Amino acid sequence: MATTAITTYHALTEAEAIALAAELFPEGARLECREIGDGNLNYVFRVSDQESGKGVIIKQALPYAKVVGESWPLTLKRAAIEAAALRKHGEFATGLVPEVYGTDEKLAYTVMEDLSHLTIAREGLIQGKSYPKLSTHIGEYLAQTLFHTSDFALHPFEKKKLAAEFSNPELCKITEDLVFTDPFFDYDTNDFEPELRQAVEAVWRNDALKLEVAKLKRSFLTEAEALLHGDLHTGSIFADDNETKVIDPEFAFYGPIGFDVGLFLANLLVQGITRDGEGRDTIVKHVENTWNVFETRFSELWKSEGIEDFRGVQGYRESVLEKIFRDALGFAGCELIRRTIGLAHVKDLDGIEDAERRIHSKKQALHIGETLIIKRGELASINDVTALLEEL
């Protein structure tokens, strides 16, 4: 797709979005545009043909975090990182990420496939949908993207070139602060109901927990294992009963493999906390299936496409997977805690209207989060993780 003649950054108007997308539609098509973004950081325009209903998405990064306002400046480079990550991950996770039609670094926008026939998975899950293929697709996505961008599949020159291209310090700093630091101290960014204060102060006083979080933060800061999505929560996934598409990898960077796995598991667990009976069983199965599909596919890729000289050494693959599993549980624990008491919450919990039930669910999220962090070395299998949900 050709780029625009506009060269100075400014927030796009709907008319400009239409002009940018026009070449993707038949000549003379009557186009309309709506801003549909409900995320924390960007504008999202849907441009569509009024007759056929077919559309494209134009996502534009703002020079600040929308969730806070202009007082929180944020690099525009994240738009280029996101487009590059979608393309790189799309090479391996076939059909599981949207197609990118074009991108413009100066205006910080990306034109991509319209997914409006699907629903954001978090919204659907809150409505009680079960998305039967969600965990199979995400397990596959995780294995394909993380294996193929790691040293297990790439020549070290290629891997280090990619790691440099995906240097993303500003977005990583958001995660370092909001996921790994602020919720564990009495910092101003935190946000929680007064009824949770006792439980939150217990977190702040828990030195054993903080020691483990410090170790996890260090892994996030230092371990460049694979090209991560970097923010793989259920709001970053579009789905229906048959299809799943992972969007929004603006936090992409080279980091520990368990981070993507753990974030997704944590967001399933949050949803599981809010359900009971069969609804909860569905989430339990998704948690278990995500890990099982990831582990199986990662092992298959290791055997069929691995290039590491030590790949045939007895026990090496198992030890790599064991590390990913333990990291994932720890990262999941941090995500559960930060989504409960940190700056950026989730609708699964905040949307519970009954105050007593909401506070109770949030205490459960804190409890499972702490357990995953502290006991990540003892939980022997993914079934021990889902047992935490079943025991609530």
Binding residues for substrate: 231, 338
Rounded Cα gap, residues 226 and 245, in angstroms: 20
Per-residue binder mask for ligand SR1 (CB under 6 A), 165-204, x = binder: ---------xx--x--------------------------
Per-residue binder mask for ligand SR1 (CB under 6 A), 47-66, x = binder: ------------------x-
C-beta neighbour count of 26 within 10 angstroms: 10
Rounded Cα gap, residues 40 and 250, in angstroms: 12
From the list 321, 224, 249, the residue with the least C-alpha distance to 96 is: 249
- Quick check: 263 binds ligand SR1 (CB under 6 A)? no
Distances (CA, A) of 18 to 24, 45, 328: 10, 9, 42
Q: Which DSSP letter does residue 112 get? A: E
From the list 334, 271, 346, 257, the residue with the least C-alpha distance to 302 is: 257
Rounded Cα gap, residues 333 and 29, in angstroms: 49
Q: What residues numbered 223-252 form the site for Mg ion, per CB under 5 A?
A: 248
Q: What residues numbered 216-245 form the site for ligand SR1, per CB under 6 A?
A: 231
Residue selected from 62, 344, 352, 359 as contacting ligand SR1 according to rule CB under 6 A: 344
SS3 content of the chain, % helix, strand, coil (to 5): 55, 15, 30
Tokens of 265: 């598991």
Site size with ligand SR1, rule: CB under 6 A: 9
- What residue 182 binds from Mg ion, ligand SR1, none (CB within 5 to 8 A, per partner kind)? none
- What residue 67 binds from ligand SR1, Mg ion, none (CB within 5 to 8 A, per partner kind)? ligand SR1
Rounded Cα gap, residues 362 and 192, in angstroms: 10
Looking at the Cβ atoms of 21 and 269, the one nearer to ligand SR1 is 269
Per-residue binder mask for ligand SR1 (CB under 6 A), 93-132, x = binder: ----------------------------------------
Q: Please state the residue numbers annotated as binding site for ATP.
A: 42, 59, 113-115, 248-250
- What residue 216 binds from ligand SR1, Mg ion, none (CB within 5 to 8 A, per partner kind)? none
Contacts with Mg ion, residue ranges (CB under 5 A): 39, 248
Query: What does the binding site for ligand SR1 look like in residue numbers (CB under 6 A)?
Result: 40-41, 65, 67, 174-175, 178, 231, 344
